[in-house]
Amino acid sequence: MIEKIPFIHRQRLYNIVIEEDITFTALHVIIDDLIGQGAFEAERDGGDLYLVEHADVRYTVGVDGIDVIITVQGH
């Protein structure tokens, strides 16, 4: 079942949308990577896709405002 989970990272709220189980550590790494790629900057239109790898798992991540939609590649 797909769930929308509120998640606070560095004193900022994100809505995580994911169907798979994921660790808090992986979520922190993914969001840090997205921040590094400028995914949450105001001039972005939203709806962009990013590839993030953590612990030998590849994720496709969509960002739209504070919504972070995560899918595990190969599922």
| Domain-wise residue ranges, the chain | 3-72
pLDDT over 90 percentage in the chain: 69
21 pLDDT higher than 80: yes
Give this prediction's pTM: 0.86
Q: What is the mean pLDDT of residues 40-55?
A: 82
Sign of the four-CA dihedral 46, 52, 28, 69: positive
pLDDT at 74: 65
> In the structure, what pLDDT confidence band is assigned to residue 48 with cuts at 50, 70 and 90?
confident
Full strand arrangement of the beta sheet holding 57-64: 3-9, 12-18, 67-72, 57-64, 48-54
